[in-house]
Copies of this chain bind each other. A is one copy, B any other.
Amino acid sequence: MVTMQEVAARAGVSLATVSFVVNDSKPVSAATRARVEQAMADLGFRRNVLARALASQRTRIIALAFPALEHKLGTTALNVVTTAALAANERGFNLVLWPVNTVEQLDDYVGGGLVDGVLLMEVTAEDPRVDLLQRRGVPFVLVGRTADPAGLRYVDIDFESAVADGLDHLVGLGHTRVALLLGELHSGSLSGYGPIARTEAAYRAQVLERGLEPVVVRSPQDPRSGREAAARLLEAHPGVTAVLALNEDALHGFVNGLAASGRTLPDDVSVLGLATSPDAVTNADPAVSALVAPGPELGRRGVEAMVDALEAPEAPLVQELVPCTLHLNHSTAAAPAAGA
């Protein structure tokens, strides 16, 4: 390992001067700068990240904390992870993964002083991790939202507008009986999990606003259950002609269930995925239209909000809702004629 000391010796300057050149932190004459840079090039110098961090009290490392195992990360979440790593690298930061489940674990990790800031994924309505980080004074950004995110930095999917877009699309096609397919709200520690709660609330409010009647079906997050949910829905509400489906994992089973019950897609029933991963549209069979979740944007914007906060403590509080994008794929169509 080539140290600054060696570079300084070769360039005939002091250690400090090399540091100033490397960090551009104090003016250095062109001639000296050139000599130093030449020396660095000759020696193949690379500053030691660790020493720099120890001396400057800033590690330029960001942690991404996600609950491991509890509920396996979906494709959207994984998109967040990889894009976040990319964005961090672009900004000269490193991203470390913290698969931590408990507040105590998080506390342990934060205490080590390894990171400048934390990105929190899979945020719940009353997330104890938020309190911890505030208490410890560690800068953080939520990818998601607590029930009351006032004063917190966050980046989240705009579920409200996604529901609106979905309803616009379906109602625009003439549908008046639009149901909502949801994951179950109280599954273990995910009780109060934001996306489900927010989507349901938005749906109920907006459907009533439009003078329609809300119909909500719940289903565990797997295809078999999705299939059953379709049967249940059709039995209880045979008049439904369109469905918004937040539950990505149940989506395909649900669609098949409709087919199994003799409904054709999209002629009898339109189905629109909500905040799904891109794969749900691209790789799906049968093809499904959906409002695709902005996984990559969440990762990127989350990191950027974090870095901004770190580099300029007085930066404005980022509170950003990212919309889903509508990808049509032949699973929605005009509502069947009333008499059908």
Contact = CB atoms under 8 A, between A and B. Distances in A.
Interface of A: 1, 44, 46-51, 53-54, 59, 61, 66, 68-69, 73, 75, 78, 81-82, 85-86, 89, 94-100, 108, 111-114, 222-223, 249, 252-253, 255-256, 282-286
Contacts of A78: 73, 75, 78, 81-82
Contact of A96 (B61, B252, B284): B61
Q: 3 closest pairs, A vs B, by CB? A: A46-B111, A85-B97, A49-B112
Given A46-B108, A86-B99, A94-B97, 11 more contacts: A46-B112, A48-B112, A49-B112, A54-B54, A69-B86, A73-B82, A78-B78, A85-B98, A89-B98, A96-B97, A252-B283
Nearest to A66: B82
Contacts of A86: 68-69, 99
B99 A97 contact: no
Nearest to A105: B89
A89 B249 CA distance: 29
A96 B94 contact: yes
A89 B99 contact: yes
Contacts of A89: 98-100
B222 A283 contact: yes
Contacts of A100: 89
Given A89-B98, A99-B85, A285 B113 contact: no
A54 B47 CA distance: 13
A329 B48 CA distance: 53
Contact of A49 (B68, B69, B97, B113): B113
Given A78-B73, A96-B95, A1 B285 contact: no
